[in-house]
Amino acid sequence: MQRFQFYNPRSVEDALNFLAEKGERSKIIAGGTDLIPGLRLEEIRPDFVLNIPEINPFRGIKEMDHSFWIGPTTTFTEMVESNLLSRSFPALVQSAASVGGPQIRNRGTIGGNIANASPAADVLPALLAHGGELELQSKRNGKRIIPLAEAILSPYKTCFRSDEILTGIILKKLELGTRSAFEKLGRRKAMARARMNLTLLLRLNHREEVSELRIVPGAVMPVAKRMDRTERMLLGKKPEPLLIEAASKTLAEEMVEVTGARWSTEYKIPVLKNIFKRMMKQLLIV
Ligand SMILES: Cc1cc2nc3c(=O)[nH]c(=O)nc-3n(C[C@H](O)[C@H](O)[C@H](O)COP(=O)(O)OP(=O)(O)OC[C@H]3O[C@@H](n4cnc5c(N)ncnc54)[C@H](O)[C@@H]3O)c2cc1C
């Protein structure tokens, strides 16, 4: 194992002061489930490691008037056990429940899943579907809030500055009647990283037409994103089986436009289409 200095900040201010001075040469550690393997393999070689799980204001889930706030060091287990999240964002909770095995869920955090920006992340695409926003803080610039959709620049690369900490994830409350679901296809059941996952959010109006639809496949593109063209195809229309069938084809085309044709495309197209159709059917029955 390489040599670095481990720093335990006593407060948010202490952590921000530390990064203001040494951010360029530091790595933040939360649960360590991504960082520690990276340190072991010497893929990263920081001089300092800033340990943030003991900072209390970074933990927990709070309900506000129009939104929810999730602390970055909230673990997947804490998300799964949260009644607030289960009631309001079932798909997000399903995504947290799908991560690794119990040990990884007990240590791994929502903030680490975002900041690591892996193309195979499970919770990150679910957050994108929910329109998540990120609260970032630094000593130099104070607080800034940015949409998650703008924060991931490329695989494993975010727009976070070296002196910044992700200090919160904000989710606006969804309109009444919004249904959501998450499904993951892994290599093995336990401890599997996603081969593909899909998050859907759907709302119908009083005429049973689609008034809101968000579709985010994960682990199939370098950076997860909403599938706007497929969403627009269904918006304002009744989700009849023929239209859903056509939308599933468009969804697969949209994915291939981003990824290009690869060896796995032949397998991914029918799988994505089928998961989408099955999840739409389930959401329409609810
Ligand atoms: C066996 C195994 C199975 C796994 N299975 C899955 C899976 O099924 N699905 C999945 O999505 N992931 C999986 N992972 C990956 C991992 O558990 C997640 O990405 C986890 O969310 C990372 O969180 P962490 O707290 O451990 O992050 P860490 O490892 O502590 O940090 C990860 C990165 O985020 C940065 N960071 C952390 N917190 C902050 C912050 N607040 N502000 C700024 N930067 C920060 C760190 O500097 C580092 O670059 C698996 C990992 C292992 C080892």
**What was the pLDDT predicted at 190?**
53
**Do 162 and 26 form a contact (C-beta atoms < 8 A)?**
yes
What is the strand order of the sheet 194-204 is part of? Answer: 179-186, 194-204, 210-218
Question: Measuring CA to CA, how many Å separate 285 from each of 138, 246, 281?
Answer: 46, 20, 6
| 61: Cα within 13 Å, side-chain hemisphere | 21
**What was the pLDDT predicted at 191?**
55
Strands 179-186 and 133-138: unpaired
Q: Is 27 in the pocket of ligand 1 (CB under 6 A)?
A: yes
Alpha helices in 25-108 (DSSP H): 35-40, 76-80, 83-88, 90-97, 102-107
Q: pLDDT tens, position by position, for the chain (286 residues)?
A: 678 999 999 999 999 999 999 999 999 999 999 999 999 999 999 999 999 999 999 999 999 999 999 999 999 999 999 999 999 999 999 999 999 999 999 999 999 999 999 999 999 999 999 999 999 999 999 999 999 999 999 999 999 999 999 999 999 999 999 999 999 987 655 555 668 999 999 999 999 999 999 999 999 999 999 999 999 999 999 999 999 999 999 999 999 999 888 888 888 999 999 999 999 999 999 7
3-state secondary structure (DSSP) of residue 274: helix
Q: Which uninterrupted H or E stretch holds 245?
A: helix 241-259
Ligand 1 atom nearest the C-alpha of 122 is 11
**Do 227 and 221 form a contact (C-beta atoms < 8 A)?**
no
Q: Virtual CA dihedral for 254, 255, 261, 262, nearest 10 degrees?
A: 180
Pocket test for ligand 1, best of 34, 79, 136, 166 (most atoms within 8 A of CB): 34
**What was the pLDDT predicted at 192?**
57
**What was the pLDDT predicted at 47?**
97
Q: Is 104 in the pocket of ligand 1 (CB under 6 A)?
A: yes
**Do 252 and 272 form a contact (C-beta atoms < 8 A)?**
yes
**Eight-class DSSP state of 109:** B
Instruction: Using alpha carbons, select from 31, 33, 32, 29 the residue that is nearest to residue 191.
Output: 33
Enumerate residues 6+ apart whose C-beta is below 8 A from 72.
30, 52, 58, 109, 110, 111, 112, 114, 165, 166, 167, 168, 169
Q: Which uninterrupted H or E stretch holds 181?
A: strand 179-186
3-state secondary structure (DSSP) of residue 36: helix
- Residue 64 CA to ligand 1 center (angstroms) comes to 27
pTM (predicted TM-score)? 0.96
**What was the pLDDT predicted at 262?**
82
**What was the pLDDT predicted at 2?**
78
3-state secondary structure (DSSP) of residue 217: strand
- Residue 108 CA to ligand 1 center (angstroms) comes to 6
Enumerate residues 6+ apart whose C-beta is below 8 A from 54.
8, 9
Instruction: Using alpha carbons, select from 276, 124, 150, 261 the residue that is nearest to residue 215.
Output: 276
Q: Which domains does the chain have, with CATH numbers?
A: 1-53 (3.30.43.10), 179-285 (3.30.390.50)
